[in-house]
């Protein structure tokens, strides 16, 4: 999910933005690596393809940085370096749990930098920029420290994640746009809910939440479902038309999959913390339903637009 799915989408978005043929190496290699895993090919082949994808993405950001230098692009470039590091650790035989901080760094810092890119609309102050860079530095330092010292590194990274969540709640335009109607409110609601889960995960990491299986599970899903997938749900009506050249009109029913995602995650986390295996299982099941409902609602919205354009099809 982190590299084969989301990584492919991020790489494709940036390759389209760059507009150079070689940039498509990143999403192509990422998709190929994911397909190798699904097909049961040797793990080393999949890891090699995903490493190539990560290095290509770093090259894309480096080129964008050369053409149009900015703070958010610099942070995205830093975030992208975490991708090939994670796959190289995988090739060296490290367990997935030791890769998670690097995957978290890649995805969270990329999303945060994209929000900074949008924050230019509200003219981010020097204090805001300083606080953002401080949170990024703490997060990435903690991720790097998890290599030699997993426990202390996770606590440092957790402080960075909590700082990023608080920063986005304070400075992101979502705090204002949630009052607006239609798609704008839906996107803002998805973002703000995601920031809450990111802050929760950061607090768990600070408290040593990576030391036990149930707290590790709670923090893992708070990051990758509560934050990342909520970002996907919120940005899909904006990014998919730009990247795939398809119309995806907003529908009120989008709140159904968004609400179910967060309700199911709350149940899963509650099952981890109580602990209750039954509550946890129901939360996991409803989480799958939320993602399937997202796919169904998205496909229905796309199909309805296509039918209007081609009534005789």
Tokens at 142, concatenated: 């903690």
Quote the pLDDT of residue 312.
45
pLDDT, one tens digit per residue, over 209-245 is 677 888 899 999 999 999 999 999 998 888 877 766 7
Quote the pLDDT of residue 241.
79
pLDDT, one tens digit per residue, over 92-151 is 988 888 899 999 999 999 999 988 887 665 677 889 899 999 999 999 999 999 989 999
Place of tokens 């039954």: 278
What's the length of the chain? 313
Place of tokens 């204002």: 176
Q: Which residue, among 169, 265, 187, has the nearest Cα to 222 in the 3D structure?
A: 265
By the 8 A CB rule, do 93 and 155 touch?
no
Quote the pLDDT of residue 1.
78
Residue 300 reports pLDDT greater than 50:
yes
Q: Which residue, among 294, 231, 304, has the nearest Cα to 13 in the 3D structure?
A: 231
Task: Report the alpha-carbon distance of residue 248 to residue 251 in Å, rounded.
Answer: 9
Quote the pLDDT of residue 244.
67
pLDDT, one tens digit per residue, over 20-77 is 999 999 999 999 999 998 898 888 999 999 999 999 999 999 999 999 899 999 999 9
Burial 107-126 (b: 16+ CB within 10 A, else e): bbbbbbbbbbeebeeeebee
């Amino acid at each position: 999910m982190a590299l084969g799915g989301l990584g492919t989408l991020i790489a494709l978005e940036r390759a389209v933005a760059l507009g150079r043929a070689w940039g498509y190496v990143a999403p192509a290699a990422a998709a190929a690596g994911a397909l190798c895993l699904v097909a049961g090919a040797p793990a080393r082949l999949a890891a090699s393809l995903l490493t190539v994808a990560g290095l290509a993405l770093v090259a894309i950001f480096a080129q964008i940085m050369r053409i149009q230098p900015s703070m958010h692009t610099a942070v995205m470039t830093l975030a992208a370096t975490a991708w090939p590091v994670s796959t190289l650790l995988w090739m060296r035989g490290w367990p997935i749990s030791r890769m998670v901080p690097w995957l978290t760094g890649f995805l969270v810092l990329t999303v945060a930098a994209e929000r900074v890119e949008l924050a230019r609309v509200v003219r981010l102050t020097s204090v805001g920029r300083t606080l953002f860079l401080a949170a990024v530095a703490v997060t990435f330092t903690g991720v790097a420290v998890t290599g030699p010292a997993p426990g202390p590194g996770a606590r440092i990274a957790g402080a960075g994640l909590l700082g990023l969540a608080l920063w986005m709640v304070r400075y992101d335009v979502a705090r204002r746009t949630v009052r607006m109607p239609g798609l704008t409110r839906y996107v803002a609601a998805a973002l703000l809910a995601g920031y809450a889960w990111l802050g929760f995960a950061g607090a768990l990491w600070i408290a040593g939440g990576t030391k036990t299986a149930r707290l590790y599970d709670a923090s893992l899903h708070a990051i990758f479902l509560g934050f990342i997938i909520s970002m996907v749900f919120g940005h899909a009506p904006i990014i998919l038309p730009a990247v795939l050249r398809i119309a995806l009109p907003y529908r009120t029913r989008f709140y159904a999959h968004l609400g179910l995602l967060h309700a199911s995650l709350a149940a899963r986390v509650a099952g981890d913390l109580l602990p209750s295996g039954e509550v946890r299982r129901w939360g996991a099941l409803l989480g799958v339903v939320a993602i399937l409902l997202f796919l169904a609602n998205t496909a229905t919205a796309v199909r309805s637009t296509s039918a209007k354009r081609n009534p005789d099809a």
